[in-house]
Amino acid sequence: MSHFAQTATMLGKDVKIPQHPDEAVLDAVPNPQAGTLFLARFACPEFTSLCPVTGQPDFGHLVIDYAPDQTLVESKSLKLFLGSFRNHGAFHEDCTVGIGKRIVEAVKPLWLRIGGYWYPRGGIPIDVFWQTGPVPEGLWLPDQGVPAYRGR
| 3-state SS, residue 48 | strand
pLDDT digits (tens, 9 = 90+) for 121-152: 888 999 999 999 999 999 999 999 998 887 65
Its pTM stands at 0.92
Active site residue 95: no
Q: Which CATH architecture has domain 43-134?
A: 2-Layer Sandwich (3.30)
d(CA 102, CA 89): 17
Among the listed residues 98, 103, 121, 107, the one whose alpha carbon sits nearest the alpha carbon of residue 70: 107
Instruction: Please tell me whether 74 is known to bind a ligand.
Output: yes
Active site residue 22: no
| 3-state SS, residue 114 | strand
